[in-house]
Amino acid sequence: MPLGERTGDRSDSRYCGVETEFSDDMPRLLSFNINGGFDFVVADLMDPGYRPSLRSDDDIKSGALPVAGSDLILSPSEWSSRVVGKISSWIDLDTDDAVLRRDSETTLKQQITWASHLSLQACLLPAPRSMSCVNYARCVNQILQGINSMQLWLRIPLKKPDDDDAMDNLLVEVGEQVDSWEIWNLFRLLCEHHSQLSIALDILSSLPSINSLGRWFGEPVRAAIINADSFLTNARGFPCLSKRHQKLVTAFFKHSVQIVISGRPTHELPIGSTESGNQRHPLRLYLDYIGFLYQRLDPLPEQERYELGYRDFLQSPLQPLMDNLEAQTYETFERDTVKYIQYKRAICKVLMDRIPDEKVSVETTVLMVVGAGRGPLIRASLQAAEETGRKLDIYAVEKNPNAVVTLHSLLKLEGWENAVTIVSSDMRCWDAPVKADILVSELLGSFGDNELSPECLDGAQRFLKPDGVSIPSSYTSFLQPITASKLYNDVKLHKDLVHFETAYVVKLHNVARLAPCQPVFTFTHPDYSAQKTKQRYSKLEFDIPSDTGSALVHGFAGYFDATLYKDVHLSIEPTMATPNMFSWFPIFFPLKEPVCVRPGSPLEVHIWRCCGSAKVWYEWCVTSPYSSPIHNSDGRSYWGKSNAQRKITTCHTELGKVLGLPRYVLISR
């Protein structure tokens, strides 16, 4: 039975497994463990004493392998949902012993073939024995080319060489300790980042640093194996985990990592316990504790439940100059009340600053909403006027003719006739009859300027008074290196250059943020500088904390922070993000070839915002620790058109209708 239920939670982490010894009676083994409370078993599929070179002549003639029963002993659904195959731990494909090496290769392929025949969802591969795992990786990569949907979990002990205690014997390099992440990285590089190769982390009694642990959340970790001897004993005599282990397990729950209990029990029911232990599974105490940790998780907030379908899902940002939004998209971002409360606060402050109390009855402020959509900024402006007692004359400028229809209907429905003038025009082409005191827009993208807000507001600036105020008044983009194995593999599936040179909007979840964000580009409005170029270039140097160890950079997460007016901000930059605001996901700039950064080696990144006569685009590259190609040169793969309209190409689904967020076009596959 699942560990527990949280509203909206359908992740794999609800299910807990148990690692078992070999049994030639699989139905009995499965029944015992399922009745004991576990959801699946990690079980040997073949007698671990089997060696091809030691087979008798009779065995060879029969052709039968010493497997744990035929495929008929369990139903297909039981094999698929209840059993994870475990490959024999004795195999060593990089040994100098030629006979053992041949036996290992033969056995590995036989067991994976049998597991595939049983339609298992996953198989657990033994941990590499050292950094010299090239032949092991070669054989696994061969197998990955031929299997269908089955995942291969590579067992990796969670160790780092700066740990105080000795390296676990699962992973030892002769004469030195090895960072187990280095083993994983070498193995997956040799296997070409294959999406069906993932990780089962062995959680040992001691843990590396927080930064070192953080690397793994961007990697494809599917299971965390906790041995019974890693548990402590609480005051009541029951098993428990250290505070650091608890935090790690809780984080795994949130990243859909399944827990597997392993080993022999080191705890018994305390004397005087009212629970009956006659039929209890010997590892049930550990399962109960893991269930307790799961049930302590806070329920998922409503907004996170809405966003579950978009976690680590690549989307392409809309370009407002190119695309007219549709009703369902408007409706979604209009629900973001936090954003419009911030806009209302900013407008209130401007009105109070510009109109003193003694002139409230005689002065009227001209406010222009450029990109009015279906009117949320109009509504926020009128509310600000009412709260401050100031008079407003509003011009609502909107280029989308469909949204203009809605605005006209709102004039009557909301009683705006005397306060609002609707203008059906592109803000860059309209000749305003008066100058504005306040210019309000919401053209920001996930990277601040990626929806061409600078170009749009420059075009609208001509009808702002010399002392007029723009809301927003400025915005800055930020960049951050991340490990994002899933995102990288999703881009790689397209097998072309274009997708590696495209920036995506993503609800980041299974990622490791490797260094603090750094500012990239800043734009200020109004801009009265003599040379108002919108081109930008920035060189950034990131220092990944030394206790992190080596890490693989798959790309960069982008964010923005916007100053609406004075101290009123909108932000998605993680350290200063506006609470409960959901209108924007971060942006992701992928690298065609991930960059491995080692301790003490800075990561140097270059990014350009380029402007041509008809388009705007980004280019980016890495020059340290080694150089990458410049991505998206001359905007060959990804750009925004700055002076043209085109037909909208939004891909709609029922999921998008319910969960969709503004400004995003789903990538159809």
pLDDT of residue 394 exceeding 90, the answer is yes
Surface-to-core class of residue 246, CB atoms within 10 Å of its CB (0-12 exposed, 13-18 middle, 19+ buried): middle
What does the mean pLDDT of the chain come to?
A: 89
Active site residues: 442, 451
pLDDT of residue 645 exceeding 90, the answer is no
**Is there a single domain that holds both residue 372 and residue 279?**
no
Contacts 24+ apart (CB under 8 A), 287-291: 287/16, 287/18, 287/36, 287/37, 287/38, 287/261, 288/37, 289/231, 289/238, 289/239, 289/240, 289/241, 290/3, 290/16, 290/226, 290/249, 290/259, 290/261, 291/3, 291/4, 291/16
| Residue where a domain stops, chosen among 409, 439, 471 | 471
Structure confidence at residue 643 (pLDDT): 66
**pLDDT tens column, 601-634:** 999 999 999 999 889 999 999 999 999 999 999 9
**Is there a single domain that holds both residue 467 and residue 481?**
no
**Is there a single domain that holds both residue 486 and residue 403?**
no
pLDDT of residue 665 exceeding 80, the answer is no
Cβ neighbors of 610 (< 8 A, separation 6 or more) are: 535, 616, 617, 618, 619, 634, 635
User: 189, 134, 314, 194: which is closest to 594 by C-alpha?
Assistant: 189
Name which of 340-354, 360-374, 597-611, 631-645 the model is least confident about.
Answer: 631-645
| Residue where a domain stops, chosen among 277, 298, 319 | 298
**Is there a single domain that holds both residue 459 and residue 557?**
no
Quick count: other Cβ atoms within 10 Å of Cβ 61? Answer: 9
Question: Higher pLDDT residue, 323 or 549?
Answer: 549
In a domain, 276, yes or no: yes
The pTM of this model reads 0.90
pLDDT of residue 636 exceeding 70, the answer is yes
3-state helix, strand, coil in the chain (%, to 5): 30, 25, 40
Structure confidence at residue 663 (pLDDT): 32
Question: Higher pLDDT residue, 23 or 6?
Answer: 23
Helix (H) or strand (E) holding 90: none
**Is there a single domain that holds both residue 427 and residue 538?**
no
Structure confidence at residue 490 (pLDDT): 97
Surface-to-core class of residue 154, CB atoms within 10 Å of its CB (0-12 exposed, 13-18 middle, 19+ buried): buried
Question: Higher pLDDT residue, 130 or 656?
Answer: 130
**Is there a single domain that holds both residue 466 and residue 486?**
no
Is 581 annotated as a binding-site member?
no
In a domain, 216, yes or no: yes
Q: Confidence class of residue 658 from pLDDT cuts 50, 70 and 90?
A: very low
**Is there a single domain that holds both residue 451 and residue 540?**
no
Question: Biggest alpha carbon distance in the chain?
Answer: 107
**Is there a single domain that holds both residue 413 and residue 516?**
no
Three-state DSSP state, 247: helix
**Is there a single domain that holds both residue 404 and residue 494?**
no
Is 306 annotated as a binding-site member?
no
**Is there a single domain that holds both residue 482 and residue 467?**
no
In a domain, 515, yes or no: yes
Q: How many domains does the chain have?
A: 3
**Is there a single domain that holds both residue 260 and residue 351?**
no
What DSSP assignment string belongs to 432-482?
Answer: -SS-EEEEE----BTTBSTT-HHHHHHHHGGGEEEEEEEES-EEEEEEEEE
Structure confidence at residue 321 (pLDDT): 63
In a domain, 230, yes or no: yes
| Residue where a domain stops, chosen among 298, 314, 348 | 298
Is 398 annotated as a binding-site member?
yes
**Is there a single domain that holds both residue 411 and residue 437?**
yes
- Pairing type for strands 258-262 and 221-227 reads parallel
Contact 502, 316 (CB under 8 A): yes
Is 363 annotated as a binding-site member?
no
d(CA 248, CA 235): 22
In a domain, 320, yes or no: no
d(CA 514, CA 309): 25
In a domain, 322, yes or no: no
What DSSP assignment string belongs to 43-87?
Answer: EESB-TT--GGG--HHHHHH----BSS-GGGS-HHHHHHHEEEE-
CATH number at residue 140: 3.20.20.150
Is 427 annotated as a binding-site member?
yes
In a domain, 532, yes or no: yes
pLDDT of residue 648 exceeding 80, the answer is no
- What range defines the domain where residue 524 resides? 477-666
pLDDT of residue 201 exceeding 60, the answer is yes
pLDDT of residue 126 exceeding 70, the answer is yes
CATH number at residue 345: 3.40.50.150
CATH number at residue 625: 2.70.160.11
Is 46 annotated as a binding-site member?
no
Structure confidence at residue 644 (pLDDT): 43
In a domain, 410, yes or no: yes
User: 625, 488, 629, 477: which is closest to 543 by C-alpha?
Assistant: 625
How is the beta sheet containing 364-370 ordered, strand by strand? 420-424, 391-398, 364-370, 436-440, 464-471
